[in-house]
Amino acid sequence: MGGMLALALPPGKGPHLVGCTDVMVGHTQQGLFLRLFYPCLPQAGAAQPLWIPRSEYCGGLADFALGRRWCSALISIAVGSCRVPVSWNGPLKPHSHGYPLVIFSHGLGAFRTLYSSVCTELASWGFVVAALEHRDHSAATTYFCTAEDGREEWIPFQQVPPGQKEFYFRNKQVHQRAEECVRALRLFTDIASGKSVPNLLCQDLDLSMLKDNIDLTKVVVMGHSFGGVTAVLALVKEPRFRCAVALDAWMFPLENVLYPEVPKPVLFINTEKFQTPEGVAKMKRLSSRNSQTKIITVLGTVHESQTDFAFLPGKLISLIFGARGTLNPHKALTITIQAVLAFLQRHLNLEEEFHQWDDLLEGVGDSVVPEAPFCRSNL
């Protein structure tokens, strides 16, 4: 493993240590698969989980990012042994009132672990974060285990079929993704009500530990890119989501008729290089209806700046995933998280000091601006 290429994901900067486990429920595609990040107690000799959990995901990334399967081995050599700085199956730190819950939706061609930096950071500030792996063929790859023999059925990434309009294909996907976010909330409701929820991955961690440790009156849905627009749609489908956070949302797949239906506030945190005027106009439609909806842009960032890829050094990664942002990725992550925490303080009525970062919600601060002044045109 060349030190030059090592991924150095940052540990959370909040007051809590972070634990992590994988959860799969149900034996069909209609079940759920997610990675759970949560505040945990110290544990001697705790293992750290792999960032890319299995080699199949390297193949999926190679296909999605490059359309070149041979790069799978290259990705595997570069990042295959990288680990996330969290405690695998670490013991949950109990909370007298329960932690707020974040359901997180990944972007196109991603999967449940590629936002570990954001999820770890949120967990370190006192949230339980459920990072879904979507089964709408938008993940680089994913799988479920059948009931008969526990065989793995893999669900590959799918391009828009020839002859099909992209909007209709993506719109169907975004509805499936939002439904998966709603099902994830139902899963945690079941756990909280004391129902036994078997985790097919047979981890050492019993999900019933969450029973009295999640506050289901404080639930938010969040995502990046395709996951950002998924979060907006989930607000329409599930009234128990109090608000949404959309990182560089790809607004294209959402049908226009739904915009008047979005009832709750959304925080849009955009990167400097990704948005189009059309996408921003859609965000502004929502902010014109709800004064609590905020749009800010982080300067010096590109679309991948809000993923773990921002922390990959080396020319190889620039080669695979395109240009890097000019803003230091640690600083970009700090700005993003502080803005999210200030927003959640406001809309989940948290008893924290996160309002100290309220200025960021108005686009005031180093490396942030209000709205999205620099979005590229569709030339």
Distance CA 81, CA 137 (A): 26
Residue 67's pLDDT is: 64
- Residue in this structure with the two tokens 């670490």, named with its chain if needed: 90
Residue 254 lies in a domain: yes
Does residue 188 belong to any structural domain of this protein?
A: yes
Our CA angle for 221, 175, 137, nearest 5°, is: 100
Residue 376 located in a structural domain: no
Is 373's pLDDT higher than 80? no
For residue 67, what are the contacts with CB-CB under 8 A and spacing of at least 6? none
DSSP for 39-63, written as a single string: EE---TT----BSS-SHHHHHHHHH
Beta pairing partners, 38: 19
Closest CA to 138 of 178, 84, 102, 80: 178
Which pLDDT score, from 0 to 100, does residue 190 have? Answer: 97
The secondary structure element, H or E, covering residue 330 is helix 329-348
**Does residue 154 lie in a domain region?**
yes
Residue 379, in any domain of the structure: no
Residue 377 predicted with pLDDT over 70: no
Pairing label, strands 214-224, 99-105: parallel
CATH number for 364:
3.40.50.1820
Tens digit of pLDDT for each residue in 211-249? Answer: 999 999 999 999 999 999 999 999 999 999 999 999 999
Q: What is the pLDDT of residues 72-82, one digit of tens each?
A: 777 787 787 89
Q: For residues 260-293, b (16+ Cβ closer than 10 Å) or e, as one string?
A: eebebbbbbbbbbbbbbeebbebbeebbeeeeeb
Structure confidence by residue, pLDDT tens digits, 261-291: 998 999 999 999 899 999 999 999 999 989 9
pTM of the full predicted structure? 0.95
Catalytic machinery residues: 225, 248, 303
Encode pLDDT of 91-149 as tens digits. 999 999 999 999 999 999 999 999 999 999 999 999 999 999 999 999 999 999 998 78
Q: Give dist(CA 359, CA 370) in Å, integer.
A: 10
If we measure between CA atoms, which residue out of 196, 221, 220 comes closest to residue 210?
196
Residues 309-359 pLDDT 10s: 899 876 666 666 667 889 999 999 999 999 999 999 999 999 999 999 999
Can you give the residue range of the structural domain that contains 211?
Answer: 3-370
How many domains are there within the chain?
1
pLDDT tens per residue across span 153-185: 999 999 999 999 999 999 999 999 999 999 999
The answer to whether position 72 is within a domain reads yes
